[in-house]
């Protein structure tokens, strides 16, 4: 965006502090527009006619550097692009890379449907949500426009996920568009050869379109020309070479395009970028090798500026790291990642199992949890709500206190008399100084565990079960 302080935004707002947006003042709302946690349309007054001019001006100034494009319709529609920074710590990245997995029009029907369902049903639980994949890319392998349209029709009847229609033949694209004209699919792709006809389709059917050229001069030329013809929803595919020096060049092109778009404000190429890790399959025929290499390419371009990508392998060992690396890169670094506070079972605890306390900082919690579960220690693990702050800092900052610890067990209806034979609580080593307080507040026996949960197994051998008083 072109503005960088709330004061600059404030000048365009109604300045009436009506609080309809949920913020007490227009200045507070301005700050949320700058950090992109609110949208301009959250301000009802500015939508009125009298502010129309300021609304339009501000909207243009607030627009992200990289054009934001929507693919698909309804609840499964995906936005891509929308970024304002080159490094996630500078703000956060928006619109996680959209993952499209391919099907093709020469597949036997049963296989075709099964594959689409696997794509649509993939899910992986992670920190309170499910990681999923986003789109289906239908490839025209037959070369037959009718056959392609038939496959696209079947795909659209099978899933609500957005579709990418892949063919370099305008006739095939046109016949496919006819069957999904109201579904806002992404067209792949316009090239130096077919651009005139593909542009015609993008205009007539009002759909976003990918421009493909490994030559960045040509790619820019295509983008300029499409923009000139009034087509704004563009995606750039600079070509994903799967190996060698050409792969290095591909990597460099992604950096160049994004740097030009964000750092240099080159609007002409400030569009989402597409990667095609699927191309790993053009060089590796062995499925495991190809899946591994495809996952590697996918990760490289998730970290460095790929906004949408087309993938092939549906192997869990490919999809799991893919969705996790995307979550890694797109998690908002401004908010600490938290787990839900509460008392959780690790393994199958009995009355003789220890009760261990940690914080609800996701990283701490999951580290402790995996240290316990991988060592097969059955226990109760309490995640105290410390606003997602780690143990040491939370003790120092007062987010981890005896009262909060007591609260956690009470809210979970965890009665030590009922659930344990020992009436004992174990504090992290880094919270040792809370021992007296916790004893006073809870009336429990309090033991001090090791400062690092990796040492819990050794600690258990020496100190558990607690010796009778």
Partner 1 sequence: MTKKIKLSELGNLFGGLDVQALEGVKIEGDVEIDLGQMGMNPQMAYALGHETAQLALHLMNISRILGYPVDQMLGASPAKPARLTKLIESKFSVGKIEEWKTPIQEVVLGATSSDGGTRKSTITLGGETALPYYFDSPMPHRNHITMDVFDMPINMAKAVKSNYEDVINSPAEWAKKVVRDFGADMVTIHLISTDPNIKDTSPAEAAKTVEEVLQAVDVPIVIGGSGNPEKDPAVLEKAAEVAEGERCLLASASLNLDYARIAEAAKKYNHVVLSWTQLEINAQKELNRKLMKQCNVARENILMDPTTAALGYGLDYAYTNMERMRLAGLSGDAELNFPMSSGTTNAWGAREAWMVSSPLKEDSDWGPREYRGPIWEIITGLTLSLAGNDLFMMMHPTAVQVLKEITQTLYGGKESEPVNIDNWVGAVL
Positions 265 through 324 that interact with partner 1 (CB under 8 A): 266, 268-269, 276, 278-279, 281-283, 288, 292-293, 295-296, 299-300, 303-304, 312, 315-321, 324
Tokens in use for 286? 């062995």
Q: Is 113 in the site for partner 1 (CB under 8 A)?
A: no
Q: Is 195 in the site for partner 1 (CB under 8 A)?
A: yes
- DSSP state letter for 251: H
List beta partners, residue 9: none
Q: From the CB of 62, what's the least distance to partner 1, in Å?
A: 25
**Which of 22, 44, 143, 465 is in the footprint of partner 1 by CB under 8 A?**
143
- Altogether, the residues listed in the chain come to a count of 469
Q: Which is nearer to partner 1, 23 or 294 (CB)?
A: 294
- Contact between 345 and 420 under an 8 Å Cβ cutoff? The reply is no
Q: Is 439 in the site for partner 1 (CB under 8 A)?
A: no
**Which of 9, 80, 179, 199 is in the footprint of partner 1 by CB under 8 A?**
199
Of the candidates 192, 133, 194, 195, which has an alpha carbon nearest to the alpha carbon of residue 164? Answer: 133
Three-state secondary structure readout of 344-396: EEECCCCCCCCEEEEECEHHHHHHHHHHHHHCCCCEEEEEECCCCCCHHHHHH
Phi, psi of 346 (to 5 degrees): -110, 125
Task: Give the interface segment with partner 1, choosing from 64-72, 73-81, 120-128, 380-388 (CB under 8 A).
Answer: 120-128
Contact string 123-142 vs partner 1 (x = CB under 8 A): xxxx---x--------xxx-
Contacts (CB under 8 A) with partner 1, residues 200-219: 200, 203-204, 214, 216-219
- Contact between 347 and 379 under an 8 Å Cβ cutoff? The reply is yes
Q: Which is nearer to partner 1, 1 or 256 (CB)?
A: 256
Three-state secondary structure readout of 143-164: CCHHHHHHHHHHHHHHCCCCEE
Q: From the CB of 91, what's the least distance to partner 1, in Å?
A: 12
The Cα–Cα gap between 313 and 292 comes to 9
Q: From the CB of 175, what's the least distance to partner 1, in Å?
A: 15
The Cα–Cα gap between 47 and 188 comes to 36
The Cα–Cα gap between 45 and 36 comes to 19
- Contact between 112 and 154 under an 8 Å Cβ cutoff? The reply is yes
Q: Is 107 in the site for partner 1 (CB under 8 A)?
A: no
Contacts (CB under 8 A) with partner 1, residues 345-364: 362-363
Q: Which is nearer to partner 1, 59 or 367 (CB)?
A: 367
Q: From the CB of 68, what's the least distance to partner 1, in Å?
A: 21
**3 state SS of 220:** helix
Q: Is 108 in the site for partner 1 (CB under 8 A)?
A: no
Q: From the CB of 466, what's the least distance to partner 1, in Å?
A: 18
């Amino acid at each position: 965006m072109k503005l960088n302080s709330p004061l600059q935004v404030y000048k365009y707002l109604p300045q009436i502090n009506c609080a309809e947006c949920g913020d007490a003042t227009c200045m507070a709302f301005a700050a949320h527009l700058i950090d992109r946690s609110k949208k301009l349309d959250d301000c009802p007054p500015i939508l009125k006619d009298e502010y129309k001019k300021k609304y339009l001006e501000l909207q243009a100034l607030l627009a992200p550097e990289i054009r934001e494009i929507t693919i698909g319709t309804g609840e499964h529609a995906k936005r891509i692009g929308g970024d304002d920074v080159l490094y996630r710590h500078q703000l956060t990245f928006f619109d996680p890379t959209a993952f499209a997995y391919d099907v093709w029009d020469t597949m036997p029907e049963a296989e075709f449907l099964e594959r689409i369902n696997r794509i649509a049903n993939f899910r992986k639980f992670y920190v309170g949500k499910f990681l999923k994949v986003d789109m289906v890319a239908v490839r025209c392998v037959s070369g037959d426009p009718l056959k392609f349209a038939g496959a696209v029709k079947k795909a659209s009847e099978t899933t609500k996920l957005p579709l990418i229609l892949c063919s370099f033949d305008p006739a095939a694209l046109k016949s496919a568009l006819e069957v999904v004209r109201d579904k806002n699919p992404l067209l792949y792709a316009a090239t130096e050869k077919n651009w005139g006809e593909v542009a015609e389709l993008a205009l007539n059917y009002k759909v976003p379109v990918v421009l493909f050229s490994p030559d960045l001069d040509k790619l820019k030329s295509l983008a300029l020309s499409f923009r000139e013809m009034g087509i704004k929803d563009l995606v750039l595919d600079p070509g994903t070479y799967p190996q060698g020096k050409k792969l290095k060049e591909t990597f460099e092109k992604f950096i160049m395009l994004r740097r030009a778009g964000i750092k240099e404000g080159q609007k002409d190429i400030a569009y989402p970028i597409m990667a095609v890790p699927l191309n790993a399959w053009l060089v590796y025929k062995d499925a495991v090798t190809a899946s591994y290499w495809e996952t590697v390419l996918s990760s490289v371009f998730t970290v460095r500026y790929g906004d949408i990508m087309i993938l092939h392998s549906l192997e869990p060992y490919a999809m799991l790291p893919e969705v996790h690396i995307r979550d890694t890169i797109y998690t908002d670094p401004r908010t600490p990642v938290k787990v839900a506070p509460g008392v959780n079972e690790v393994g199958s605890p009995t009355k003789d199992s220890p009760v261990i306390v940690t914080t609800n900082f996701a990283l701490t919690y999951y580290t402790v949890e995996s240290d316990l579960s991988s060592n097969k220690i059955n226990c109760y693990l309490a995640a105290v709500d410390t606003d997602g702050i780690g143990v040491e800092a939370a003790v120092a900052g007062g987010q981890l206190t005896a009262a909060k610890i007591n609260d956690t067990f009470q809210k979970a209806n965890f009665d030590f008399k009922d659930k344990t034979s020992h009436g004992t609580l174990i504090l992290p080593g880094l919270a040792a100084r809370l021992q007296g307080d916790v004893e006073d507040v809870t009336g429990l026996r309090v033991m001090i565990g090791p400062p690092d949960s990796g040492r819990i197994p050794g600690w258990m051998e020496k100190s558990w079960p607690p010796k009778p008083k």
